[in-house]
Amino acid sequence: MISTNKKSAQPLGPLMVDVGGLELTDEDREILRHPLVGGVILFTRNYRDHEQLKALCDAILSLRRPRLLLAVDHEGGRVQRFRVGFTRIPAMRTFGSHYAEDPAAALRSVRDCGFTIGRELSAFGIDLCFAPVLDLDHGVSAVIGDRAFADHPDLVIALAREFRAGLNAAGLVATGKHFPGHGAVRADSHVELPVDRRAEAELRAADLRPFQALIADGLESIMMAHVRYHAVDEMPASLSRRWIRGILRKELGFAGAVFCDDLSMGGAAVAGTMEARARLALAAGCDMLPVCNDRAAVIGLLDALKTLKPSRAASQRLQRLYRRVP
């Protein structure tokens, strides 16, 4: 089916893939040992109880040296993959609303929330919760909505800083998303490519500010948006050299790891085949490419990219995201 390296003494590859169930299959193990794979993202289907999840995570983490990155979308609110037996995390808008009444209490609460997420996930060996959302809620994007802290950049910055501090205190790093801002478009990038037609100056004056502030603080990783910003580049930001290598890396000085959003999403389909999407994302400067809920596409991509050599520089950036015991 696919070529593997069972000695596994290679840099982390650029693909983040999923597994189908509560424990690894032989096919899962073969794919996860492939040199082009560098991470695993977990979903609700991968969780039954604490004992099962710990066994699954241990099995994944024991497959490779250096070990695979392990991630889950666990923002809170609508986006929390593990629920039974885990603290229920409110939507981030809750903290923005609380801030209007009691700023100090809201900042304490959101820091505690970040710490709780970090403590609970790190107990299973999970490195990333893919949060916080740094998008501004402009009142038009249903897919963002209450996942955003607020509609004003200063408030998003204040709350996101505390959330990140909580994660860091529990040994996890943060992933700011979705650069450069998904909150001003109606279309859902899971199913189609949204187009943001605002002027570049407007983007910079508002949506880029939370990313810029947290980058200055040392933000460890960023996830790109499958959104086309018409005034900047005709390519979606996730596949754009101008956005990643130009604005994010060179202009804003971001030195952390860059995640593409899921290449299986409709917002990436404008680039064509899965191979075309992956090659464009890598050329644009993404370090890791999630490909979710499509095992056939993963297998096809591993074959199509079989001559690609994993980047040691990207692997080093990704390995800096490993959880740390406080």
CATH of the domain at 82: 3.20.20.300
- Give the closest residue to 289 by CA, choosing from 82, 76, 71, 132: 71
Residue 9 has a pLDDT of: 63
Whole-number Å distance between alpha carbons of 48 and 44? 8
Bridge pairing between strands 175-179 and 79-80: unpaired
pTM of the complete model? 0.95
Residue 79 belongs to a domain: yes
pLDDT at 7 (0 to 100)? 46
Q: Which residues are annotated as a binding site?
A: 73, 81, 147, 177-178
Instruction: Locate 316 and state its tokens.
Output: 């080093």
Q: Report, as ranges of residue numbers, the positions in the chain whose pLDDT lies below 70.
A: 1-9, 326
Structural domain harbouring 35: 15-319
Residue 7 lies in a domain: no
Helix (H) / strand (E) containing 177 = strand 175-179
State how far the Cα of 268 lies from the Cα of 280, in Å rounded to an integer.
10
In whole angstroms, give the CA distance from residue 52 to residue 315: 29
For residue 127, being part of any structural domain is answered with: yes
Q: Is residue 255 part of a domain?
A: yes
* Predicted local confidence at residue 10, as pLDDT: 80
* Residue 149 in domain: yes
pLDDT at 188: 87
Q: Which of 174, 153, 182 is nearest to 217 (CA)?
A: 174
User: Who contacts 204 (Cβ-Cβ below 8 Å, separation ≥6)?
Assistant: none
6 falls within a domain: no
Q: Which residues are annotated as a binding site for substrate?
A: 73, 81, 147, 177-178
In a domain, 3, yes or no: no
* Residue among 252, 256, 242 nearest 212 (CA): 252
Q: How far, in whole angstroms, is CA 153 from its chain's centroid?
A: 20
Enzyme catalytic residues? 190, 261
How many structural domains compose the chain? 1
Contact 234, 200 (CB under 8 A): no
pLDDT at residue 326 in the model: 65
Give a yes or no: residue 132 inside a domain: yes
Beta bridge partners of 224: 179
Give the C-alpha distances (Å, rounded to integers) separating 249 from 40, 153, 212, 322: 25, 21, 11, 21
